[in-house]
């Protein structure tokens, strides 16, 4: 189930946030980590399972329309998880095999509800931590979101202590769109825009349902179609990961 049936509101939320975030060639990230009783950021131990990432790559055509590219997406879905595994390779945690979401998963099944809940929780965090949000400038504010006991379903199926959820949308400018951007700069004095890389990732404690860490990435550069690009994206997506 690569293209989620549950994430329409989530995608609309990201689209709205992009209007608030400047993407002038720079990466924007908003990373939050849970704090322990001592007030310090937690450091995870135990086992982690990556839930099959929701990744789609598209080409921006001359008219500005984004056209999904299946071959690109399949390459990214293969390269990105490996880049993440390399990045979080640490003696304190055990990485379990990725959990592949059944293609015939019913939205109302227990697992389907958990996946849908991921989008709802991520939307709430995005709204609260985005520029102008209530937590955007409150760096010491606790990350206080939970999935509730429903995540026990994932723990039963994987045996993991933590689950890593990932959403990535990456787009690349076609030759025609690149020409249009140049014309826009020359004739209009401004850039009409091109490809973008958007990512949201959430780490959840499967024993409690607590969101342990969250990160939102938005940038105009990056490429998930090769190993070097996947590694660079994983580096940005895992900013602040609580190792």
81 pLDDT above the threshold of 90: yes
137 pLDDT above the threshold of 70: no
5 pLDDT above the threshold of 70: no
| First-to-last C-alpha distance (Å) of the chain | 29
Please report the pLDDT score of residue 187 as a whole number: 40
Chain centroid to Cα 184, Å, comes to: 31
Please report the pLDDT score of residue 163 as a whole number: 97
> 9 exposed, middle or buried (CB, 10 Å; 0-12, 13-18, 19+)?
exposed
- Which of 21-30, 163-172, 225-234 is predicted least confidently? 21-30
pTM of the model: 0.81
Over residues 235-243, the mean pLDDT reads 93
Percent residues over pLDDT 70 in the chain: 72
Over residues 231-240, the mean pLDDT reads 94
Bridge partners of 164?
Answer: 50, 203
Token pair, residue 164, equals 């890593």
What digits encode the pLDDT tens for the residues 171-218?
Answer: 887 544 343 333 333 343 443 344 588 889 999 999 999 999 999 888
Over residues 111-135, the mean pLDDT reads 78
Over residues 41-49, the mean pLDDT reads 93
Q: Is 101 left (phi over 0), alpha (psi -120 to 50) or beta?
A: beta
Pairwise pLDDT comparison (148 vs 8), residue with the higher score: 148
CA distances for 212 relative to 13, 72, 81, angstroms:
22, 31, 20
Highest mean predicted confidence (pLDDT) among 63-72, 127-136, 204-213: 204-213
Please report the pLDDT score of residue 23 as a whole number: 47
Please report the pLDDT score of residue 179 as a whole number: 36
Over residues 91-101, the mean pLDDT reads 91
Please report the pLDDT score of residue 132 as a whole number: 57
Q: Any residues with CB less than 8 A from the CB of 6 and at least 6 apart, and which?
A: 107, 112, 115, 116, 119
Q: What's the CA angle centered on 123, arms 117 and 128, to 5 degrees?
A: 130
CB 1 within 8 A of CB 102: yes
- For residue 72, give the nearest of 174, 182, 218, 219 by alpha carbon: 174
Highest mean predicted confidence (pLDDT) among 83-92, 119-128, 189-198: 83-92
């Amino acid at each position: 189930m690569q293209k989620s049936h549950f994430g329409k509101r989530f995608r609309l939320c990201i689209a709205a946030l992009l209007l608030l975030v400047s993407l002038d060639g720079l990466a924007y990230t908003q990373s939050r980590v849970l704090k322990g009783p001592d007030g310090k950021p937690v450091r995870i131990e135990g086992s982690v399972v990556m839930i099959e990432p929701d990744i789609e790559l598209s080409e921006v055509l001359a008219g500005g329309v984004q056209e999904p590219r299946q071959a690109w997406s399949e390459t990214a879905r293969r390269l990105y998880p490996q880049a993440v595994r390399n990045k979080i390779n640490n003696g304190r945690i055990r990485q379990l095999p990725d959990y592949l979401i059944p293609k015939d998963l019913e939205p109302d099944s227990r697992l389907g509800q958990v996946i849908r809940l991921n989008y709802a929780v991520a939307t709430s965090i995005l709204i609260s931590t985005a520029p102008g949000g209530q937590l955007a400038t409150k760096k010491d504010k606790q990350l206080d979101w939970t999935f509730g006991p429903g995540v026990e379903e994932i723990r039963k199926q994987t045996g993991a202590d933590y689950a890593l959820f990932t959403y990535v949308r990456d787009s690349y400018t076609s030759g025609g769109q690149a020409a249009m951007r140049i014309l826009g700069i020359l004739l209009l004095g401004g850039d009409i825009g091109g490809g973008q890389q958007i990512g949201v990732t959430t780490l959840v404690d499967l024993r409690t349902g607590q969101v342990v860490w969250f990160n939102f990435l938005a940038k105009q550069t990056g490429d998930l179609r090769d190993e070097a690009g996947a590694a660079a994206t994983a580096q940005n997506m895992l900013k602040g990961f609580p190792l």
